[in-house]
Amino acid sequence: MKQFVVILFTAVITGIGAISYSWAAWTTKTLISVDKKTEVIATEISYIKKYMERDYGYIQRSDETASVKAAK
């Protein structure tokens, strides 16, 4: 009976460890993927902003904090 409890306990701990490892690996992979996508999007936005400022200059909006100011 004691051997059965030890085997069961070992199996439960191993299962919890495997699930935790899988979750941690998935989370890390997902966060790295999101970070890479965010960097690509930030680069694209910077590129678009640069050329919009060049082509259109200062664009007045109703919300001054959201306005785009051209560096001339």
Tens-digit pLDDT profile for residues 22-63: 999 999 999 999 999 999 999 999 888 888 888 887 666 655
Q: Is residue 72 part of a domain?
A: no
Burial 26-52 (b: 16+ CB within 10 A, else e): eeeeeeeeeeeeeeeeeeeeeeeeeee
Q: Is residue 43 part of a domain?
A: yes
pTM over 0.95: no
Report how many domains make up the chain: 1
Q: Is residue 58 part of a domain?
A: yes
The tally of CA atoms less than 13 A away on the side-chain side of residue 22 is: 6
Cα dihedral value 69, 66, 35, 28, nearest 10 = 160
Q: 68 versus 12: which is more confidently predicted?
A: 12
Q: Is residue 71 part of a domain?
A: no
With a cut of 60, say whether residue 71 has pLDDT above it.
Answer: no
43 is in which domain, residue-wise? 2-66
